[in-house]
């Protein structure tokens, strides 16, 4: 008989269920203590309690049918109106709430693809041009909707390079993309220059402000110089902004706002012949939970413009303290001075492998976001993290010192795996390896995550992951060489590019 879990024959006692649920959390990231620099956005317990209540009030309602639940449609309209005001949208602006940043980006790409099908039916294979730093949900959208993503290299300051983007525009281009800010380093792309490009080529321009849409306006209001990026820029046709990030709503709430209906109408879906009835839907899901809509409405009303501004200011101050502290540590440096409450750092010395530093910070109890291209660490900063800055910097100093005195550590644990993954020039191999990890995660009955650090040490069956364990430094050195050769080849190819 299989030992697969089944629904219990008789329902369990409610108190016991709740106890179990609480106990499951024991190994989770300790975000309330401020040790998690991503994933959770927090504006204090009183605010969290309010949005929980709001969510709870509309827990069962379903936005799928706005006639049955006109309350949800009303709140969605209010949320979009408040967002459009914040983004300086014209009076004709329209939009929808979505379940999150990814859905907003998927829908934007789908809408622009369908618009191009209508307006430019001669385009066989639509393409969008975006900076390499654009969120990977665009890649997902490209994959789902058959739009080719053409990535332009970014500048040394991590911002989009409009000249590099211009080179990728051709007769199949249907959309340009920029971020405000991009996630990895938190810098805002030069939207005014990219919008000029969009106008010159009569192309729509989507601004992905999923991450920063609910914080940059308030930093500007507080007097910070933020490069222009919203609807005040002529040529910006749509903006995505997540309320479940710096808008401090419950998870499952983003917005997608268009300059006018001529864009939004391509997002809609109508099925006319289903025996279940005529079915019209503005976004991807069928059933739309009411809770996140009500919680977003509550969050925006509770924070108010002054609340958002105060919290944004403290978050930015906290990020700037981290930035200054990182600058003062020998062996690492900040990647960039972010426009949003973000800090990020990379190695500044041959004897500091940033992935070993990351492993060391994990050991010291911090949740760490490892990034690539270049290898670095990302930190999304919230106001409630102001009290932990000194402790973080103390640990970071110690982690860098430890890394310097343990050169062998780059061959072990997650550092080895990330180091390897970042360097392998043929990305299809990396993809294969990650797919293998996903297969092991979703194998029957697997409840947690496989130990990534051990996958290379003979526990996984993926050849790439095992390679690093077996050949360690030799494999790394080979990959370094391959990367160098790759970069030289790319530079040579660029010189030969006739469009330059
Ligand atoms: C710039 C940007 N766009 C899109 C997303 C995707 O948002 P979500 O995780 O809510 O789907 C993120 C998430 O961090 C982001 O930073």
| Cα separations in angstroms, 216 against 187, 222, 496 | 11, 10, 40
Q: Tell the residue nearest (CA) to atom 15 of ligand 1.
A: 211
What is the Å distance from ligand 1's center to 1 Cα?
Answer: 43
Predicted confidence (pLDDT) per residue in 413-462, tens digit: 888 888 888 878 788 888 988 898 899 999 999 888 877 666 554 455 56
Is residue 11 scored above 80 in pLDDT?
yes
Task: Tell me which DSSP letter residue 115 carries.
Answer: H
500 pLDDT tier (thresholds 50, 70, 90):
very low
Q: Please state whether the peptide bond connecting residue 297 to the residue before it is cis, i.e. omega within 30 degrees of 0.
A: no
Q: Tell the residue nearest (CA) to atom 8 of ligand 1.
A: 101
Among residues 108, 182, 118, 184, the alpha carbon closest in space to that of 147 is found at 108
Predicted confidence (pLDDT) per residue in 173-229, tens digit: 999 999 999 999 999 999 999 999 999 999 999 999 999 999 999 999 999 999 999
pTM for the model: 0.92
Q: What is the C-alpha separation between 376 and 346, in angstroms, rounded?
A: 4
Is residue 463 scored above 90 in pLDDT?
no
Residue 98, phi then psi, degrees to nearest 5: -135, 180
CATH architecture of 54-300: 3-Layer(aba) Sandwich (3.40)
Domain ranges of the chain: 54-300, 306-411, 413-488
- What pLDDT is recorded for position 462? 62
Q: What is the enclosing helix (H) or strand (E) of 206?
A: strand 205-208
Helix axes 290-327, 45-57, angle to 10 degrees: 160
CB 346 within 8 A of CB 326: no
Question: To test the ligand 1 pocket, which listed residue (36, 98, 102, 185) has its Cβ within 8 A of the most ligand atoms?
Answer: 102
- What pLDDT is recorded for position 268? 98
Q: What is the CATH code of the structural domain delimited by 306-411?
A: 3.90.1150.10
| Cα separations in angstroms, 316 against 183, 236, 320, 439 | 15, 26, 6, 39
What is the Å distance from ligand 1's center to 210 Cα?
Answer: 6
Instruction: Kindly tell me the sign of the dihedral angle through the C-alpha atoms of 482, 183, 165, 107.
Output: positive
The number of the ligand 1 atom at minimal distance from the alpha carbon of 244 is: 10
Question: To test the ligand 1 pocket, which listed residue (207, 210, 216, 244) has its Cβ within 8 A of the most ligand atoms?
Answer: 210
Q: Quote the percentage of the chain above a pLDDT of 90.
A: 81
- What pLDDT is recorded for position 313? 98
Predicted confidence (pLDDT) per residue in 469-483, tens digit: 666 566 666 666 666
Average pLDDT over residues 268-291: 97
Among residues 186, 183, 180, 185, the alpha carbon closest in space to that of 214 is found at 180
Q: Tell the residue nearest (CA) to atom 6 of ligand 1.
A: 101
Task: Tell me which DSSP letter residue 265 carries.
Answer: G
Q: What is the C-alpha separation between 342 and 315, in angstroms, rounded?
A: 9
């Amino acid at each position: 008989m299989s030992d697969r879990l089944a629904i219990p024959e008789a329902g369990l006692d409610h108190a016991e269920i709740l106890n179990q649920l609480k106990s499951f959390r024991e190994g989770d990231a300790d975000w309330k203590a401020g040790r998690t620099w991503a994933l959770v956005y927090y504006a204090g317990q009183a605010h969290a309690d309010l949005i929980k209540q709001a969510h709870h009030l509309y827990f069962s309602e379903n936005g799928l049918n706005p006639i049955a639940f006109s309350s949800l449609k009303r709140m969605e309209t209010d949320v979009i109106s408040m967002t459009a005001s914040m983004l300086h949208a014209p009076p004709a602006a329209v939009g929808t709430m979505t379940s999150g940043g990814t859905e907003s980006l998927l829908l934007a790409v789908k809408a622009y693809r369908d618009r191009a099908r209508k307006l430019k039916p001669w385009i066989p294979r639509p393409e969008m041009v975006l900076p390499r730093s654009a969120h990977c949900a665009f890649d997902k959208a490209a994959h789902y909707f058959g739009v080719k993503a053409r990535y332009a290299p970014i500048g040394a300051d991590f911002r989009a390079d409009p000249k590099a983007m211009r080179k990728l525009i051709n007769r199949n281009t249907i959309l340009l993309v920029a971020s405000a800010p991009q996630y990895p380093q938190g810098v805002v792309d030069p939207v005014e220059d990219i919008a000029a490009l969009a106008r010159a080529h009569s192309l729509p321009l989507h601004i992905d402000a999923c991450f920063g849409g609910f914080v940059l306006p308030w930093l500007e209001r507080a007097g910070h110089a933020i490069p222009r990026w919203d609807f005040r820029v002529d040529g910006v046709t749509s903006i995505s902004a997540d309320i479940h990030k710096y808008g401090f709503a419950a998870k499952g709430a983003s917005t997608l706002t268009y300059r006018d209906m001529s864009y939004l109408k391509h997002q809609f879906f109508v099925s006319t012949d289903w025996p279940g009835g005529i079915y019209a839907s503005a976004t991807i899901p069928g059933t739309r939970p009411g809770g996140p809509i009500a919680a977003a409405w509550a969050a925006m009303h509770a924070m108010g413009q002054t609340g958002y501004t105060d919290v944004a200011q403290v978050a930015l101050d906290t990020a700037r303290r981290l930035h200054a502290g990182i600058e003062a540590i020998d062996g690492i440096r900040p990647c960039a001075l972010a426009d949003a409450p973000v800090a990020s750092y990379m190695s500044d010395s041959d004897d500091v492998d940033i992935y070993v530093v990351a492993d060391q910070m994990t050991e010291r109890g911090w949740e760490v976001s490892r990034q690539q291209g270049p290898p670095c660490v990302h930190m999304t900063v919230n106001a409630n993290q102001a009290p932990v800055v000194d402790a973080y910097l103390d640990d970071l100093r110690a982690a860098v010192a430890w890394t310097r005195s343990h050169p062998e550590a780059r061959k072990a644990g997650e550092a080895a795996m990330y180091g390897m993954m970042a360097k392998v020039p043929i990305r299809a191999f990396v993809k294969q390896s990650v797919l293998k990890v996903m297969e092991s995660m979703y194998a029957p009955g697997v409840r947690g995550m496989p130990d990534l650090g051990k996958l290379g040490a003979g526990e996984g069956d993926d050849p790439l992951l095992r390679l690093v364990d077996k050949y360690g430094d030799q494999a790394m050195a080979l990959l370094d060489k391959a990367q160098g050769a790759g970069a030289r080849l790319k530079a040579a190819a660029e010189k030969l590019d006739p469009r330059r």
